[in-house]
């Protein structure tokens, strides 16, 4: 199996600040990082929980994927992310198995990691992100 661990769960939110009272204040999750990904039109907050994280995703532009997601489905779980040892090999393996890739080659994502998304039509409606440390 090429999956190493569950890296994070991405949650689309209208306002990170508005959610921190709950996730940090009520649940006691530690804010690890706050950052923006300008190319994707998002602001994000990583909250640490054990060996994984919760990623709060807020749109910074009207047409961003997160803005479109919230407009269509409302706030909620956007994706799950698995860490893989070798993202390029993992993508080739999945494509050979008939999985539709949103990203055929990895791109730079949050925290300087390579990322790629699998299309939800082949994953039973779940948007899956793969990430690799290197």
Higher pLDDT, 112 or 20: 20
pLDDT tens track for 65-113: 999 999 999 999 999 999 999 999 999 999 999 999 999 999 988 777 8
Cα Rg for the chain, rounded, in angstroms? 15
| Pairwise CA distance, residues 61 & 100, whole Å | 27
Structure tokens at 85: 């040892």
SS3 58: strand
Supply the pLDDT for residue 1.
Answer: 54
pLDDT tens track for 34-57: 998 888 899 999 999 999 999 999
Supply the pLDDT for residue 127.
Answer: 97
Structure tokens at 119: 């299309």
Supply the pLDDT for residue 43.
Answer: 95
pTM value is 0.92
Domains, the chain, ordered by start: 3-132 (3.10.180.10)
Answer yes or no: are the C-beta atoms of 108 and 115 closer than 8 Å: yes
- pLDDT category, 30, cuts 50, 70, 90? very high
Supply the pLDDT for residue 78.
Answer: 97
């Amino acid at each position: 199996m090429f999956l190493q661990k569950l890296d994070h769960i991405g949650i689309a939110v209208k306002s990170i600040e508005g959610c921190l009272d709950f996730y940090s204040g009520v649940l006691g999750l530690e804010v690890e990082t706050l950052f923006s990904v300008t190319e994707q039109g998002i602001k994000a907050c990583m909250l640490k929980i054990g060996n994984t994280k919760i990623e709060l995703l807020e749109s910074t532009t009207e047409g961003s994927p997160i803005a479109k997601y919230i407009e269509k489905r409302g706030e909620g779980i956007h994706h799950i992310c698995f860490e893989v040892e070798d993202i390029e090999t993992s993508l080739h393996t999945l494509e050979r198995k008939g999985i539709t890739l949103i990203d055929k080659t990895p791109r730079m994502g949050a925290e300087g990691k390579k990322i790629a998304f699998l299309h939800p039509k082949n994953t039973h409606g779940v948007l899956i992100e793969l990430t690799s440390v290197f």
